[in-house]
Amino acid sequence: MPFRKILIANRGEIAVRVIRACREMGIRAVAVYSDVDRAALHVRMAEEAQPIGPAPASESYLSVERIIGAARSAAAEAIHPGYGFLSENPALPRACEDAGVVFIGPSAASMELMGSKTRARQAMIAAGVPVVPGSSAALADLDQARSEAARFGYPVLVKAAAGGGGKGMRVVEREEDLPAALREAASEAERAFGDASVYIEKYLRAPRHIEIQVLGDRHGRVIHLGERECSLQRRHQKVVEECPSPLVATHPEMRAEMGDAAVRVARAAGYYNAGTVEFLVDQDRRFYFLEMNTRLQVEHPVTEMVTGLDLVKEQIRIAAGEGLSYTQEQIEWRGAAIECRVYAEDPDNNFFPSPGKIFTLDRPEGPGIRVDSGAYPGWTVPLEYDPLIAKLVVWASTRDEAIARLRRALEEYHLTGIRTNLSFFRRLVESSEFREGRLDTGFIDRWMAEAAGPSGSSPEQEQAVALAAALQLLRSRAGNGASPPAAPSRWKLEGRKALLE
Ligand code: MV4
């Protein structure tokens, strides 16, 4: 047994996921919670729980000091960061080292390298991994930007060197638009990351986003667990992920090629523990390194379903210094898995967050279904954090069967009290592009624009809708915050009964 006690520096479904791995390994799990999470599922499930402060994440889940303090007072031997929060902050592994606690993740140096997009690009070029044509250092001035852009040809994409997740990005179609794009991207980057450095890349139109899961141990061995197709996203937020990628399924040589490249990326970064190498894939199926995520990802379950591995257990064993339990040759991929991210948000109201109390909750069950969730009936989804309430994951022996199973699971899934995006998924699984696996990163926006018709809403209209929804939410909070938005009042019910009599 690698550890006796692990502290989980996270909340929600991922904290629950890690607790489950701990329990199966005979390890005591210590939860942490902010004031609004006192009754959260991860707190109820863990053997122990430590309060870490008020609701704002900056004073609780994002505080290295509070997390280390909690680990100390619980005498935990290791910390699992989950995803989000401190998971990619090199300050946490450093503080762990100082406190004599094992960090379940990569080194601070690997995180730092991958945190700088320009440094990561340089390292990947040196390692012989294909990167999108572009500048490999932050741009000094407009003249340099002009000459670099002319070298790759328009359109180009201005990106933040410290970026990721789409912040500080600007597409530039013509040279005359370059100065404004540079200015805007730099100021957005300064605000978001405290670093105004930007660089440029050739802009790939409607690429696929395919990522490779890697595992490295502390003895220098690295393997890959194949790909995940993550092209289905909206506003840089993934909504559906699957394994295998429908594209790779029809071009099987791509898995080994991208897998080899991902292993080279990990080696070049001196990487250990679980990580993900993201690639963009163009229309000609050429792939380019985009970035590496130095954490366990939200969508890891699709890889687990298809490979049969337990990634969290592997992470824990690796952190304890054990060698990988599998060789590359032992990894096999069986069947197809699809994950839907179930959010407390209203698809009929511009996906506006819909926190609040869950009244009833009926989840799908039966063959090939996995639901990872931090929700339970009677629990209130707090508005302070990410509104992900569950991940619905299905597995079947073929993609077509997985889609049929997903459709069945979505029919069985019912939740009252809050809005969710389940209805969005019910529509999505019927679309011919999705069913045929013709996916790219522009698909959801195009598909939603089509559904809205030629008079589909402009960004201005969308803003107006969001504003109206915000006002509505504020009003409902100003009144009785506990009142369910969807359920009719007792007076209405009584009135209806009276009418029926
Ligand atoms: C790109 C690109 C096209 N060309 N880079 C978006 C998030 C950030 N991490 C990188 N992103 C992109 N970089 C070049 N040179 C298109 C995107 C992109 C994207 C990438 C992955 C998943 C979804 C996306 C949605 C829009 C744009």
Say how far apart CA 177 and CA 171 lie, in whole Å: 9
Contacts of 459 (CB under 8 A, 6+ apart): none
Beta strand residue intervals within 184-335, DSSP E: 198-202, 208-216, 222-234, 237-243, 273-281, 287-293
Q: What angle do CA 441, 442, 445 make, to 5 degrees?
A: 125
Ligand 1 proximal residues by C-beta, below 6 Å = 132, 157, 164-166, 201-204, 207, 209, 233, 236, 280, 290-291, 441
Give the integer Cα–Cα distance in Å for 28 and 47.
6
Q: Which ligand 1 atom is nearest residue 278's CA?
A: 21
205 C-alpha to ligand 1 centroid (Å) = 9
CA–centroid distance, residue 168 to ligand 1 (Å): 12
Ligand 1 centroid to 209 CA: how many Å? 8
Which atom in ligand 1 lies closest to the alpha carbon of residue 203?
4
Atom of ligand 1 nearest to the CA of 134: 15
| pLDDT in single tens digits along all 501 residues of the chain | 689 999 999 999 999 999 999 999 999 999 999 999 999 999 999 999 999 999 999 999 999 999 999 999 999 999 999 999 999 999 999 999 999 999 999 999 999 999 999 999 999 999 999 999 999 899 999 999 999 999 989 999 999 998 777 788 999 999 999 999 999 999 999 999 999 999 999 999 999 999 999 999 999 999 999 999 999 999 989 999 999 999 999 999 999 999 999 999 999 999 999 999 999 999 999 999 999 999 999 999 999 999 999 999 999 999 999 999 999 999 999 999 999 999 999 999 999 999 999 999 999 999 999 999 999 999 999 999 999 999 999 999 999 999 999 999 999 999 999 999 999 999 999 999 999 999 999 999 999 988 886 654 555 555 665 566 555 555 544 433 333 333 334 434 443 444 443
- How far does residue 431's CA lie from ligand 1's centre (Å)? 23
Count H helices, E strands: the chain?
18, 22
* β-bridge partners, 8: 31, 80
Active site residues: 295
Q: What would the two tokens of residue 62 be? A: 């994002």
Two structure tokens written together for 220: 């220098």
Give the other-Cβ count within 10 Å of 70's Cβ.
25
Q: Are 268 and 127 in contact (CB under 8 A)?
A: yes
What is the DSSP annotation of 457-492?
A: PPHHHHHHHHHHHHHHHHHHHHS-TTS-SSSPPHHH
